[in-house]
Amino acid sequence: MLLSLIASSASAGDVVDSAGRKVVVPDRVERVIAAGPPASVLVTVLAPEKLIGWNRKPPPEELPYLPPVTRNLPEIGRLTGRGGTMNLEVLMAVKPDLVVDFGSVSDTFVSLADRVQSQTAIPYLLIDGHFPKTVAAVHLLGDILGVGPRADALAQRMESDLAEIDRVTTSIPPAARPRVYLARGRNGLETGNRGSINTEIIERVGAVNVVDSGAPGLVTVSLEQVLAWNPDTIVTVDPAVAEHIHSESAWAPIDAVRRGRIFISPKLPYGWVDAPPSVNRWIGLQWMARLLFPGKFVGDIRDVTRDFYRQFYQVDLSAAELDTLLAAMETKPQ
């Protein structure tokens, strides 16, 4: 098992995390705090019985899509990101064995992890959350949480999915690949630049992210730029954005709009594209592959979705729940 991409074991109980920090982890980890939503998804997928609270209490519509053992957990806030609401008193009161953060390992997050760990004596792991590191992250945290066999099974499924995508897309020349724009924000003009964590699955599935603004991460662009890029496909996580694009005549010349190729990513219990950018994106990868390369992949999206939710979220979806989940993909053509 290769962990060198993300972290490595130093000795029994010691882990070197993705930021190069040596963290002493208990031999048995039973109570885990997720520092933010991406880590919450990772723990929920691997060992939901060890999660001791939500960063944000899931609304009722999300609950049927989550592992039953997690549905009544309390809201305890988050340590990272905008609107951090968990103070150190709350953290210490719930007595976790471990804090996990999954995402960026920049200096800002290293500083927070060091400060929290120093002030509380609770081990705090930083795990790189970029898409290419996800399989290694699953292996690593699965071993730490004592669920290695489950982690191995999930990682095997993830590697198989990637291999299937490569089998289909490797031979497609760049000029023949779909050109995709991710529409975010109220008016669809917030997006992710090439290489951003928000657009990773667009690029990994073999499509071209048309946004090349030079700025890292999320960016705000003008409609004139989108017109110049002229994507043949638009993906959004918000039905209101899709409705705005359909209804505003200024968007009409764009190839994706003229062809009715505006697609809404499902988002129960988590977004399939980037909300949050965690293991939940794996079903988004399979959805987008079938969306962009129709007829090239084995398995109807309904069957693939049902299987993913059973294996990753440990939920058997009813036909009605599956209908509700997938209904959002439908768009309203002009």
* 47 token code pair: 């060992």
Do 180 and 302 fall into the same domain?
yes
Do 270 and 223 fall into the same domain?
yes
Do 194 and 308 fall into the same domain?
yes
Report d(CA 301, CA 38) in Å as an integer.
24
Report d(CA 185, CA 187) in Å as an integer.
6
pLDDT for the residue numbered 4: 37
Judge whether 220 lies within some domain: yes
Q: How confident is the model at residue 10 (pLDDT cuts 50, 70, 90)?
A: very low
Q: How far is CA 116 from CA 106, 120, 121, 253, 289, in A?
A: 16, 6, 8, 51, 40
Judge whether 34 lies within some domain: yes
Do 142 and 215 fall into the same domain?
no
Judge whether 78 lies within some domain: yes
pLDDT for the residue numbered 86: 85
Do 19 and 121 fall into the same domain?
yes
Q: How confident is the model at residue 2 (pLDDT cuts 50, 70, 90)?
A: very low
> CATH number for the domain including 220?
3.40.50.1980
Domain count, the chain: 2
Do 76 and 203 fall into the same domain?
no
Q: How confident is the model at residue 13 (pLDDT cuts 50, 70, 90)?
A: confident
What's the mean per-residue pLDDT of the chain?
92
Do 183 and 123 fall into the same domain?
no
- The domain boundary residue, chosen from 123, 158, 193: 158
Cα angle 273, 276, 282; round to 5: 45
Do 115 and 181 fall into the same domain?
no
| Domain coverage including residue 122 | 8-158
What would the pLDDT profile of 77-134 be if each residue is shown by its tens digit?
999 876 667 889 999 999 999 999 999 999 999 999 999 999 999 999 999 999 999 9
Q: Please count the other Cβ atoms lying within 10 Å of the Cβ belonging to residue 294.
A: 8
Report d(CA 279, CA 272) in Å as an integer.
9
Do 197 and 310 fall into the same domain?
yes
Q: Which residues of 311-324 are buried (b: 16+ CB within 10 A; e: fewer)?
A: ebbbbebeeebbeb
Rg of the chain over Cα atoms, rounded to whole angstroms, equals: 20
**pTM, entire model:** 0.91
- The domain boundary residue, chosen from 132, 158, 184: 158
Judge whether 165 lies within some domain: no
Do 137 and 237 fall into the same domain?
no
Judge whether 2 lies within some domain: no
Q: Please give the span between the terminal C-alpha atoms of the chain, in angstroms, as a whole number.
A: 51
Judge whether 164 lies within some domain: no
Residues making up the chain, counted from first to last: 334
Backbone angles phi, psi at 126, to 5 degrees: -105, 120
Judge whether 3 lies within some domain: no
pLDDT for the residue numbered 246: 94
What would the pLDDT profile of 142-197 be if each residue is shown by its tens digit?
999 999 999 999 999 999 999 999 999 999 998 999 999 999 999 999 999 998 88
Q: Which residues of 95-123 are buried (b: 16+ CB within 10 A; e: fewer)?
A: ebbbbbbbbbbeeebbebbeebbeeeebb
Do 50 and 83 fall into the same domain?
yes
Judge whether 69 lies within some domain: yes
pLDDT for the residue numbered 325: 94
Do 137 and 187 fall into the same domain?
no
- The domain boundary residue, chosen from 158, 185, 210: 158
Q: Is pLDDT above 90 for 287?
A: yes
Report d(CA 110, CA 22) in Å as an integer.
12
What would the pLDDT profile of 214-235 be if each residue is shown by its tens digit?
777 899 999 999 999 999 999 9
